[in-house]
Amino acid sequence: MGESWSMSRSHRMTVGVALPQMATGLDRDRLLAWCRGIDEGPFSSVSAGERITFHNLDGFTLCSAAAALTSRVRVLVNVVVLPWHAPAMVAKELASLDVVSGGRVEVAVGVGGRQQDYAALGSPFAGRHGRLDGAVGELRRLWNGGAAADGERVGPEPVQSGGPPILASAMGPKSLARAAQWANGVSGFTLLGDSAESGQLFRQTEAAWKQAGRVDTPRLVTGSFVALGDDSHRTLHDFAETYLRVFSPDLATSLAAAMPLHDASRLVDLLDAVEAQGADEFIVVPATSDPRMLDLLADAVASRV
């Protein structure tokens, strides 16, 4: 189960920012600007995740860059789809990130939701939940000095004792029951910026922890797509429609039309509501790679302090 990474619910919720890897136009100059702005702003983490059959930059590459380009914020790899990967390789990559960042790495793991990505990698879709559980156990075993197949250790040794904290990208009672056996908490997402949806995940997580006999408090994280700045309503709509099209063009169109987080006041209202539900951290996932959004986002977050 790893070391407890519980946090008191009495503290103020923090706000992290994902690098805009799923938006278009993220080049070197913009990446530098986002990393610098996140590290200097009122934010708690910088993050990136995985998707294969899309135009995005690779999440591990971006988190490696962020680990070197920032010095204060945590580096959240959100989400690693563990069933795609050899556990020893992921153990090495995450431990290396932990060294490069000086012990600031946290990771969320899950099974992903796109069968197309599994097919592109030649990875079987069946049995993915069991492979996830097994891979988490192997990560922790290797980080704690367990031998690899040749009897040697997989280095480097993580800066954080026992390795980075592991969150679960889990939804539903069955997935949460499995996660309660090995996770430090959950990393969720609300497509439509619904605090009640986030609260439901948090309560289910707490119930799963209690059912598993856990005495530590799960870390509760969620996030949503956000656009701020010029023509932000259209920016958010077009981004969401493109990102969600893989699931269903009609569903993508209807969900994109309902995306609410395209002005600062709506975002602040959601942050307050999610905090009231008990969140430890909220992750803003930008719908634009324009770094000017960071100034508007910083103002919105600072207004709550």
Q: What is the pLDDT of residues 239-267, one digit of tens each?
A: 999 999 988 899 999 999 999 999 999 99
For the chain, give the mean pLDDT.
Answer: 94
Please tell me the predicted confidence (pLDDT) of residue 171: 85
* CA proximity to 24, closest of 239, 246, 249: 239
Kindly state the DSSP code that residue 189 receives in the 8-state scheme. -
pLDDT for 11 equals: 67
Locate the DSSP E strands across the chain. 14-18, 45-48, 74-81, 105-110, 166-168, 185-187, 219-226, 281-286
Q: Are 54 and 24 in contact (CB under 8 A)?
A: no
pLDDT in tens, 76-114: 999 999 999 999 999 999 999 999 999 999 999 999 989
Percent of the chain with pLDDT over 70: 96
Strand partners, 103: none
The answer to whether the beta carbons of residues 225 and 236 sit under 8 Å apart is yes
The pLDDT score that the predictor gives to residue 172 is 87
| pLDDT value for 67 | 98
Q: How far is CA 147 from CA 8, 131, 160, in A?
A: 35, 19, 19
Query: In angstroms, what CA-CA distances link 172 with 56, 103, 144, 226?
Result: 28, 31, 30, 25
The residue to which tokens 């799963």 are assigned: 208
Task: Return the pLDDT at 96.
Answer: 98
pLDDT, residue 170, reads 86
- Close Cβ partners of 271 (under 8 Å, ≥ 6 residues apart): 13, 15, 282, 300, 301, 304
Beta strands (DSSP E) in 101-159 are 105-110
Q: Which residues does the chain have with pLDDT short of 50?
A: 1-9
For the domain with range 14-302, which CATH number is right: 3.20.20.60, 3.20.20.30, 3.30.1280.10, 3.40.50.12280? 3.20.20.30
Question: How is the chain split into domains, by residue range?
Answer: 14-302
